[in-house]
Amino acid sequence: MQHLSFPAFLWHTGLTGEELFQLLVLSSVALFVLAVRRNWIPSPRAPAATTRFEQVMVRLSTVGLLAVVGFFLFTSLHTRYLLRPGAGRYLPGEVYAYGQAKGGKMYWYRYRVAGGTYENHTFCADREVYPPLGTRYYILYSLAEPAVSRSTNIRVPDTLQYVPSLGWGRLPAGTTSSSKSTERRSP
């Protein structure tokens, strides 16, 4: 699938649940705005904005809402496209920080690609434990945009000595799921 363009990739792979939800929100807001503008739905509010300033502010807030939802939808779709099978490479990444986020426990990792250092973050595989600082996981990154990455939550063995500057096209042989034996419980 590496040779597919962005629209062709989406056509062949479909949408994930998150992307479908974002698309549904975006289209619902757009349809609602259109319906109110065409007076298909009577406005339950007070009379329509009367001053020119109020009319401009309503339009700007609508455009802003559509832009925000559209941005998140595009970002989600584009990241999945950049990390599609065959377009990414695997490298070891090292955990250097962790903390609490709204959705659960997260860790931050950094990895090196062709001399450049990149950082990203992800949720802990087990929402109850943090990986120890210095733990290495295989990271899938995009060749087209090395800053776009995803942790596989698969530990890198301590015996690994050599890493190609651009990583591997597939996970190295003998790679297994991550072991949680050395992870520690959150404070």
The 3-state DSSP class for residue 34 equals helix
pLDDT of 181 higher than 80: no
Going from N- to C-terminal start, the domains of the chain cover 6-82, 88-170
**pLDDT: which is higher, 6 or 64:** 64
Residue 82 pLDDT? 85
CA distances (Å), 112 to each of 4, 71, 147, in order?
A: 27, 28, 10
Name which residue leads in pLDDT, 60 or 177: 60
Helix ranges restricted to H, 3-51: 6-13, 17-37
Other CB atoms within 10 Å distance of the CB of residue 48: 11
Cα(77)–Cα(19) distance, integer angstroms: 7
pLDDT of residue 57: 77
Supply the pLDDT for residue 176: 62
70: nearest Cα among 9, 10, 28: 28
Label residue 93 exposed, middle or buried (CB < 10 Å: 0-12, 13-18, 19+): buried
Whether residue 110 is predicted with pLDDT greater than 50 in this model: the reply is: yes
Tens of pLDDT, residue by residue over 37-82, are 666 666 555 555 567 777 777 778 777 877 887 888 888 888 888 8
- pLDDT value of position 178: 46
Which SS3 state, helix, strand or coil, does residue 139 take?
strand
Residue 142 near residue 86, CB atoms below 8 Å: no
